[in-house]
């Protein structure tokens, strides 16, 4: 027996060689499971790297495929997710033989984009789609208020000055409405172009009216000044200060694509202050000078135009004569004097 200590095997706590299977003995079940799991992870990682490399290679040519390729890629099915991007491209191409593939007939690029691409609210809508959407927009185009003056106190500073006498002019028999702006740039010329030959622009004063028997429609913008003038004109009408004219209502012309919450609240209040009110919403066609009196752009604009002219015809048929209006005006002013 020697004095030298017996050399001990140092075990690496990381590798743990005593846990590794020896060459002359089979591995245990858990060791085999660990090795199989490592092989599976390595295989899946290699497949993932190959798939990403193929996708990157296909994405380097986006102009070749266009929006239809991207739309089809976003809407691909389970069978195309496991394949390459070339299968997605093949499904969006027209078939040379006209036969259907495994996923159905191959659409054209335009058809694939229209079928699978989501609607983009930031892109302009084609004219034919705008008309169809306008027809489906069934929001009311007219709001009704009090049919007659309510006897409110007369305002100290009336917005509209009624002339002592009207300079009656001969108009075309088809004229059914007179437009009066409450401020500069109210949109009377725009409304006159949309209404066509059945409307006449009388400017910003009641002295420009041609015939007191023809209904009058006020026009104002949807900014703060325009809405305030509409409220003041409504107070003047409610007090009986506009009995000399046949006031039909008011048209609000949008001055911006969107209204703030404060202006939208004031607009809802002003819409029911007069017998009738309409709103000409923001339209890029009108803004770019497209005048279509016979066929106003957009379905909602057409319905607004039709509603206003229909109400004007009914109102004119039930209006008293010009002589009756003038007699009432002279009698009231004679009593006041």
The domains of the chain are located at 30-94, 138-336
Which residues on adjacent β-strands are paired with residue 277? 143, 250
Token output for 65:
């495929």
Query: In the 8-state DSSP scheme, what is residue 196?
Result: G
Buried b (16+ CB within 10 A) or exposed e, 270-285: bbebbbbbbbbbebee
CA–CA separation, 233 and 227 (whole Å) = 10
Work out the angle at residue 76's Cα, subtended by the Cα atoms of residues 98 and 58, and round it to the nearest 5 degrees.
90
CA–CA separation, 298 and 312 (whole Å) = 22
Q: Note down pLDDT in tens along the chain; length 337 residues.
A: 555 555 555 545 555 555 555 555 566 677 788 888 889 999 999 999 999 888 888 777 555 545 555 555 555 544 444 444 555 445 445 444 444 444 444 555 555 555 554 555 445 545 444 444 444 467 889 999 999 998 889 888 899 988 888 877 878 888 999 999 999 999 999 999 889 889 999 999 898 888 888 999 999 999 999 999 999 999 999 999 998 899 999 999 999 999 999 999 999 999 999 999 999 988 887 777 665 544 545 688 888 999 999 999 998 888 554 445 555 555 555 554 4
Instruction: Identify whether the C-beta of residue 234 lies closer than 8 Å to the C-beta of residue 276.
Output: no
Fold of 138-336: Rossmann fold (3.40.50)
CA–CA separation, 199 and 174 (whole Å) = 8
């Amino acid at each position: 027996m020697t004095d030298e200590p017996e050399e001990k095997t140092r075990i690496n706590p990381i590798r743990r060689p005593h846990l590794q299977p020896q060459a002359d003995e089979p591995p245990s079940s858990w060791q085999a499971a660990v090795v199989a799991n490592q092989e599976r992870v390595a295989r899946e990682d290699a497949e993932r790297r190959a798939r990403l490399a193929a996708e990157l290679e296909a994405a380097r040519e986006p102009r070749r495929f266009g929006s239809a390729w991207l739309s089809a890629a976003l809407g691909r099915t389970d069978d195309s997710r496991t394949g390459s991007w070339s299968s997605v491209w093949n499904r969006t191409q027209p078939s040379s033989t006209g036969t259907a593939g495994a996923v159905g007939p191959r659409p054209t690029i335009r058809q694939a984009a229209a079928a699978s691409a989501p609607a983009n609210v930031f892109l302009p809508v084609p004219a034919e789609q705008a008309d169809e959407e306008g027809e489906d927009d069934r929001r009311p185009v007219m709001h009704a208020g009090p049919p007659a003056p309510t006897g409110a106190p007369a305002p100290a500073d009336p917005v509209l000055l009624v002339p002592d006498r009207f300079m009656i002019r001969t108009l075309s028999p088809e004229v059914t409405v007179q437009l009066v702006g409450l401020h500069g740039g109210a949109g009377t010329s725009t409304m006159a172009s949309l209404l066509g030959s059945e409307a006449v622009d009388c400017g910003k004063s009641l002295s420009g009216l041609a015939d007191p028997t023809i209904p009058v429609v006020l026009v104002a913008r949807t900014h703060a000044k325009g809405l305030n003038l509409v409220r003041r004109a409504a107070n003047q009408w409610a007090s009986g200060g506009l009995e000399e004219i046949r006031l039909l209502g008011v048209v609000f012309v949008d001055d911006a694509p969107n209204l703030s919450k404060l202006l939208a609240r004031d607009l809802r209040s002003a819409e029911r202050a007069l017998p009738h009110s309409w709103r000409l919403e923001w339209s890029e066609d009108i803004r770019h000078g497209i005048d279509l009196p016979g066929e106003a752009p957009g379905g909602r604009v057409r319905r607004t135009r039709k509603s206003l002219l229909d109400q004007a015809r009914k109102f004119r048929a039930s209006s008293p004569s010009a002589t009756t209006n003038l007699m009432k005006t002279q009698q009231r002013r004679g009593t006041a004097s």
